[in-house]
Structures are given as C-alpha cells and as structure tokens.
Structure 1
C-alpha cells in the first residue's frame, strides 16, 4: 500500500515537532520546509519547496516567528514577514506542482477576533478585532486567499493557545512555583486553548472533511477565565497559593521580560462551531484533564 505524504512548513517549533512525530507514528511520509539545514527545503529555494510539496496530499504551514516578545519595529516586521512571506512562497510552490496537495491548511490565529468577554466568537458570527496582532492575522489570511491554486483546497486554521509539554504553560507554571500564580489583571478575561494532540487531530479531520471551507476555529469548546486558568496552573505546579497580578504591574513586568501583556490580558473566546457541527470530538476538552495529561506525559518522559 502506498504511504501517504504530508509536507510540513515550520516543523522545528513546539507544534511542528509534535506534528512531525505524530504523522510518522501514523505511518505518513513527512517532508519539511524551514530554515534549518535539516529540512528538505529552505525558504530561499523555490525549486526545492516545489519538489517537497509535489505529490504530497496535505500541506500544513506552521511557520511564524514567536509573538512572545516586545512589539518594537524590528520584531513587528519579523512577525509579519515570517507569516506573509512564507505563505507567499508556498503559494508559488503549490502553483508550480505537477501534483499539488489536495489540502493546504495554513496557520492563522484565534486572536484575530476582538476582545470578547460577552459572547463566543464563531467563524460565522465572530467580529474581527483591531491592533497589530489582528492586522498580522488579516494579512496572513489574505496572503493565503491570494494564492492562485485552483486544485488545492485552502483552509486558514484560527488556532487558540496550544497546550502541550512546553509552549505557554512552562512560564505560567514557573510563576506559580514562585508564588506568583494568582489571576492576572481582572481575571475575568477568557482563555481559549486547545491541546496539541487535538490540534493534530483537527488537521487530519479538516483534511478528510472536504466540506469544511473558509476559516476554521481550532479551540476547545470549554474555555476558562484567567482565574480558573491560574487555579489549574497552581494545582498542576503543586503551589497552594498565588499572588494576583494587577494590570499595571503586568505592564511593568512585561517590559522587564520583553513580552506583551496582550498575551494574558486579551479576552479570547473562540468557538469551534464548524468542527462541532461537522462531528469532531475532542480528546482533551477540559483544561483540568488536558493539564493532567501533560503532567503525566512529562513524568513518563522523566522515567525513561
């Protein structure tokens, strides 16, 4: 039987590394596009990218510089270019393929929606927000839409905060261990998230369900507010208490650790309406269960 082939762009990060392992475990042939010399194709080589994509049935683009930084002019340019220019390069390569991928799933972000603490934001009814992060998300999705690849279904995946061994939970757990794991700002802001395994399963689900078009929200149907989030973080870190952090102190601290308070103060309430309506079942729908699974995974790895 012929093995299935997937091309992953941006396979060296937290999500990409996980996807690579899981696709291999599922029996897929994995080709990679990225900055590393170990990748099958580097971003500066259109011919090599086309070769990596040609004959692959699925293309997953996860490329993009981390947003966990201060938004100075240089970082803003790097964040935008690392998303738009990579998507543009993939568009050129797909167009040049003799046998292009059937599906192109391109990362986007759930932060494209407005600050929402009043109602969930679905693909149909969600309202787009404003500001730098939203501008980047819009440009990212517009670049995907502009790619002229008539034989390839293009799906922007609006991904919530991804939880797994690493990623965003490590700094939050470190804060909790220092006794600083209380709620942040008002504590009422919503935290939309998805377990990395459910994100992987979402990609396969979207690929198989050809009726799914347009943007698809990738988030658990059970978001929590920041108070609940930090309570679970404290429990998973074994910290009995945590000092709340007011917004003004977060602003000062963010400058010191070179990040943006938007990452914890914006209320993200992303509803996975299309996935639910299509029958997708989450393996890790609740935060407590997801954090327990992540903690168990870390413990298992430390014993091996």
Structure 2
C-alpha cells in the first residue's frame, strides 16, 4: 500500500514503519525532517505537513496518529488547548481532503484513546459502550472521533481507541519502571482502578490487520484481552523485574503533584477488544506478564 501517515515519528508510527517497511510505501509528515530521516530511514518520503499533499487520492490509506503526549505535562488551560489542537486540527483537515478527493483513499485509520469511555468500574467495556461521565479526556476523544467520521461517507473510517502501549525502553512503561528499579515500586492510590494496555508489537500488528480487512470500521479497541487492576499490573511488573512491591503512592500525592491529570492514573476502565477478537485477530501477548517479559 501507498500510505500517508501523520505521527510517524512517534512510538506507534515508527514501530509500524520498521515492521512493515517492505510491505508498504510510506509518506510521513514531520516538523523535523533531519530527526525523522535518522529515525525512519531514507526510503520514507517526508513532508513538513499535510498541506504539502497535492492529491490525497494518490494514497491507498491514511493513518493519522498525530497528537501531543497526553501525560507529558500537567494539564494547564494552555496544555489542554495544545492537546486538542494537535489532534483535532489535523484530523479535520485530513477528513476534508479525503471528502474532496476525486478518488479517496480506501481507508482512514485515525487515532483515539480509551479515555473516550471515561472512568468506569471493573466491568468490561467494549466498542458498543459509551461514556457514563464526561471529563476532559472524554471530550477530547469524542471530538477527535467526530472529526474523523466526517469522511465516512466516502471511505472506510476506523477509530483506534488505544490503551497504554507497553514497549521496551519507550513510552509510558519507560516512565513507570524507574521507581521499580530502585526497589520503590507499588500501586497508585487504592490500586483497584482498571488498566487497559497493549504490547507495542500487538498494536502494530492490529493496525496492519485493520488495513487488510475492509469489513472492519468505526471504533476498534486497541487493547489486550487482559485488562488488570493497577495493583495486579504493579505487582506483576515488580515480579518480572524481581524487585519489591510495597511503596503505595497515596492518591492525594498524585492529585497535588499532577492536578486534574492524576485522574488518568487513579481512574480507569476495563476495555476489551471485542471487534478484533470476534473478527479473528490473535494477540501475541494477551497477558500483562507476557507483555512485560518482552518489554522490560
């Protein structure tokens, strides 16, 4: 396939290109072409923005992964606006370009997140469920998806509702693992909040699966079939690292330190990938222990 990708230098995008570079031709948008060239290689075409795309119809598919890191900084008003702008603007522009194309791409895979579902209890959540409460993450994801779905009358649109991506030396796990290395690991708050995650290799394999199967559309949960409590997640990580597991972080400490963003750590949801599983996709790392063994 000839693929246009935004966010191609990020954790998921760069991993997808590394794994499938012999199967696809990639054009990637980036603000830093020199860095992108070193990361992605000389066989990837680089553009400064989607505005440089003369005809989006030349591409078989569009993969939209662009967005500032949700947990990189405290959620000030300006940070919230940056999170919205980095997702909404490019998604709206791509959808408009696809709609206007004489021959639209066959599929538009667009990023989203399990934050769409909002805080939940331990009951499993699948693609047919909606949020029960509204918070910033819910609003962010709802609008992100709405703008992508503007193209669904002319192409197949898939919404990638992604959980915590576990990868060796990168992403969220790289930040989580530091206290464990010093023997200071432990659960967050009461540890009962559910965590929905996916190992990076399964994430990129699932994206390839979605490109190949044209009867899958709409929201797709990009999570493993084994969501766990934060307590179990933390205990398993400590076990794999052969480190202690006793330094519980009180909820009030996270609330003081992170403000509103602490809700991402103290509240969760048990999101399950029913669409992928029911369609026949097989996870290579279905349990958190299996994922940790290749990610730490």
1:108 is aligned to 2:112 = yes
The runs of 5 or more residues in structure 1 that have no matched partner are: 296-304
After superposition, the C-alpha distances for 1:13-46 in whole angstroms (9 at most, x for unaligned) are 111211121121x421111123233562223x52
After superposition, the C-alpha distances for 1:173-216 in whole angstroms (9 at most, x for unaligned) are 10212333111111111100011111111112222222212211
Q: Please give the secondary structure, in 2, of the residue aligned with 1:290.
A: helix
TM-score normalised to structure 2 length: 0.89
Within 5 Å, give how 1:1-304 maps onto structure 2. Answer: 4-24=1-21, 26-37=22-33, 40-43=46-49, 46=51, 48-51=52-55, 53-68=56-71, 69-147=73-151, 150-165=153-168, 166-254=170-258, 260-295=261-296
Q: Could you say which residue in structure 1 is the equivalent of 2:40? A: none
The runs of 5 or more residues in structure 2 that have no matched partner are: 37-44
Q: Please give the secondary structure, in 1, of the residue aligned with 2:177.
A: helix
Q: Please give the secondary structure, in 2, of the residue aligned with 1:261.
A: helix
Q: Which moved more, 1:234-243 or 1:152-161?
A: 234-243
CA distance in 1, matches of 2:231, 2:200: 22
Q: Please give the secondary structure, in 2, of the residue aligned with 1:92.
A: helix
Q: Please give the secondary structure, in 2, of the residue aligned with 1:155.
A: strand
CA distance in 1, matches of 2:219, 2:156: 12
Instruction: Give the C-alpha shift of residue 60 in structure 1.
Output: 0.8
Q: Please give the secondary structure, in 2, of the residue aligned with 1:212.
A: coil
**Conservation of the 8 A alpha-carbon contact between 1:120 and 1:126:** no
**Conservation of the 8 A alpha-carbon contact between 2:223 and 2:273:** yes
After superposition, the C-alpha distances for 1:259-304 in whole angstroms (9 at most, x for unaligned) are 8212211122111111111111111111111111123xxxxxxxxx
Q: Please give the secondary structure, in 1, of the residue aligned with 2:108.
A: strand
TM-score normalised to structure 1 length: 0.87
Instruction: Give the C-alpha shift of residue 128 in structure 1.
Output: 4.7
**Conservation of the 8 A alpha-carbon contact between 1:121 and 1:127:** no
Aligned residues: 284
**Conservation of the 8 A alpha-carbon contact between 1:23 and 1:30:** no
Q: Please give the secondary structure, in 2, of the residue aligned with 1:32.
A: strand
For the structure 1 residues 118 and 229, does the alpha-carbon distance in structure 2 shift closer, same or farther, using more than 3 Å as the test?
Answer: closer
Instruction: Give the C-alpha shift of residue 96 in structure 1.
Output: 4.2
Instruction: Give the C-alpha shift of residue 225 in structure 1.
Output: 0.6
**Conservation of the 8 A alpha-carbon contact between 1:123 and 1:216:** yes
Say what the alpha-carbon RMSD is for the aligned residues: 1.9
